[in-house]
Amino acid sequence: MNHLNIALWGVLPYLVLALFTAGTAWRYHYDRFGFTTRSSQLHESRLLSIGGPLFHFGLLFVAAGHVVGLVVPESLTERLHVTEGLYHANALLVGGTAGLATAAGLALLLYRRLKVPAVRAATSRSDRAVYPVLAAVLLAGLTATGASAHAYDYRQGVSVWFRSLFALDPDVPAMAHAPLVYRLHALLGMALFALWPFSRLVHAFTAPLGYLARPYVVYRSRTPARPYRHPALTGPDDADAPLRKRRRAHR
């Protein structure tokens, strides 16, 4: 067996997992309050209100599709009487739509980050490393989704390799014989998870709970509010001044 294949598909996944786990623990210990997206909504919200939901909700469906495609064995779907044609048609339709929505949302967010000076200035070094990898992962995934509609059945190759990792007995040939686009997608995915703990992506661990419990954002009005003055301390309101003046004139 090729030593490079053993290194890529038998050793590298465990190294990435170790880095991901240790990096997340380190980040939480030294920067637990940095588990945030560093929101820039106050600088520009129109593009964010479109690109944010497209990216995040699309990504949720993409993640769910990966779980079903990689974790659920083909034998189980056969027992549930889900035909091969129906499974792949659903994967192509739902997975392709979710992938396109995620890519469109990411494109809007990147355009916003480049267009708005304040947002561009807040871009960190980790952002510059993560965004290209994330974009490449999405493009490779969309290409792989289209390729799954043809001759290659990833559930008999990539999925077998993925599940074998949990058994601590990697099926290296199952992944080594996969088409190039699947291998590239897997490598880019591992690169993304290696960068994950050191970027703003860590907010995925706390955002779902944080958004449910976070308080309302209170904005100060641009129009200064009229101060309230208690009559017992300040006397009648100035609005009564003309009436008092007329009363004194009649006297």
In a domain, 19, yes or no: no
Kindly tell me if the per-residue pLDDT of 49 is higher than 50: yes
| Interval 244-248 mean pLDDT | 57
Task: For residues 210 and 32, give the distance between their C-alpha atoms in angstroms, rounded to a whole number.
Answer: 13
Q: Please, what sign has the CA dihedral across residues 105, 109, 197, 29?
A: negative
**Structure confidence at residue 219 (pLDDT):** 46
pLDDT in tens, 115-157: 888 888 878 888 888 999 999 999 999 998 877 656 788 888 9
**Structure confidence at residue 216 (pLDDT):** 45
In a domain, 127, yes or no: yes
pLDDT in tens, 104-121: 999 999 998 888 888 888
DSSP class of 122: T
- What is the 3-state composition of the chain as percent helix, strand, coil, each rounded to the nearest 5? 75, 0, 25
**Structure confidence at residue 244 (pLDDT):** 56
Banded model confidence at residue 83, pLDDT cuts 50, 70, 90: confident
**Structure confidence at residue 211 (pLDDT):** 46
Kindly tell me if the per-residue pLDDT of 169 is higher than 80: yes
CATH code of the domain covering residue 75 = 1.20.950.20
In a domain, 240, yes or no: no
In the chain, the amino acid numbered 224 is P
Range of the domain at 134: 38-201
Residue 51 CB partners (closer than 8 Å, separation 6+)? 104, 105, 106, 107, 108, 109, 111, 112
Backbone angles phi, psi at 44, to 5 degrees: -165, 120
Return the higher-pLDDT residue of 223 and 50. 50
Residue 144: Cβ within 10 Å count: 23
Nearest of 57, 53, 32, 59 to residue 41 by alpha carbon: 53
Banded model confidence at residue 75, pLDDT cuts 50, 70, 90: confident
Return the higher-pLDDT residue of 156 and 15. 15
Helices (H) and strands (E) in the chain, counts: 14, 0
Look up the pTM and report it: 0.76
> Binding site: which residues?
56, 66, 185, 203
The structural domain count of the chain equals 1
| Interval 60-78 mean pLDDT | 90
Kindly tell me if the per-residue pLDDT of 168 is higher than 60: yes
In a domain, 158, yes or no: yes
pLDDT in tens, 176-201: 999 999 999 999 999 999 999 988 88
Residue 59 CB partners (closer than 8 Å, separation 6+)? 98, 102
In a domain, 207, yes or no: no
> Binding site for heme b: which residues?
56, 66, 185, 203
